[in-house]
Amino acid sequence: DGGITQSPKYLFRKEGQNVTLSCEQNLNHDAMYWYRQDPGQGLRLIYYSQIVNDFQKGDIAEGYSVSREKKESFPLTVTSAQKNPTAFYLCASKREVSNQPQHFGDGTRLSIL
Amino acid sequence: QQQVKQSPQSLIVQKGGISIINCAYENTAFDYFPWYQQFPGKGPALLIAIRPDVSEKKEGRFTISFNKSAKQFSLHIMDSQPGDSATYFCAASRLYNQGGKLIFGQGTELSVKP
């Protein structure tokens, strides 16, 4: 079955540590997205990528970094510069044809130790 | 101008009743308005979506009503069931701009009582 796989489901970060969240899709989608979800604030866009080797900052990119070396993979690194990283992180993808919907993975919950 | 405001924050409805969730937006350049349903510990799943050239779209028990002049749209869930208990998000985007990024409302936690 095609879908978006996020791993791990739960992740704990120590102070000063960088952590990387994985997002893999086998839907052959061109565009991929990372969102952060906090209670009562909906989802906010961190980064997005429309093609391999290219990505754009979203609304809350500070303290995060991404790469897009392969079409099916879009890992997100939460750096030590992100002072409030505790949140639910969601990866999404869609076909580049503009009117196609975004499909979401089941998220990674990141907490601070 | 990029915001989407959603209300109410939480909603309790009896089984068989109608659930109504409202959203308002400012940016008239938005041209795609989806609704997502999210269960605890899961990612959002697309429920139904509408473009601004139609005023209503229905899929099963779910209906989107769209008022372009008022810059408002709403989700109606008819014959609400306990299985509909979830968090619902409205969103808006410009399909041909910024990768079609979605601007989400704050979410509505719906509880349907049996």
- A31 CB contacts (<8 Å, ≥6 apart)? A48, A49, A50, A93, A94, A95, A96, B99, B100
Yes or no, beta carbons of A42 and B99 under 8 Å apart: no
A43 vs B42, B51, B89: nearest CB: B89
- C-beta atoms of B100 and A103 within 8 A: no
Among candidates A42, A50, A102 on the partner chain, residue whose Cβ is nearest the Cβ of B106:
A42
Mean pLDDT, residues B68-95 taken together: 96
Cα distances from B41 to residues A5, A10, A111, B37, B38, in angstroms, run: 14, 11, 14, 12, 8
Dihedral-angle region of residue A30 (phi above 0 means left; psi in -120 to 50 means alpha; beta otherwise): alpha
Check if A110 contacts B (Cβ < 8 Å).
Answer: no
The mean pLDDT of chain B is 94
Per-residue model confidence (pLDDT) at position A97 = 62
How many Cα atoms are found within 13 Å in the side-chain-facing hemisphere of B53?
0
- Chain A residue with Cα closest to B101: A45
pLDDT above 80 (res A101): yes
The shortest CB-CB distance from A90 to any of B4, B32, B43 is to B43
**For range A3-24, the mean pLDDT:** 94
Interface test with B, best of A10, A98, A100 (most B CBs within 10 A): A98
pLDDT band at B1 (very low <50, low <70, confident <90, very high): low
Q: Does A105 touch chain B (CB under 8 A)?
A: yes
| A110, pLDDT greater than 80 | yes
Cβ distance B64 to B84 under 8 Å?
A: no
C-alpha to C-alpha distances, A93 to A26, B38, B87, nearest whole angstrom: 10, 17, 21
Most confident of A48-52, B17-21, B27-31, B39-43: B17-21
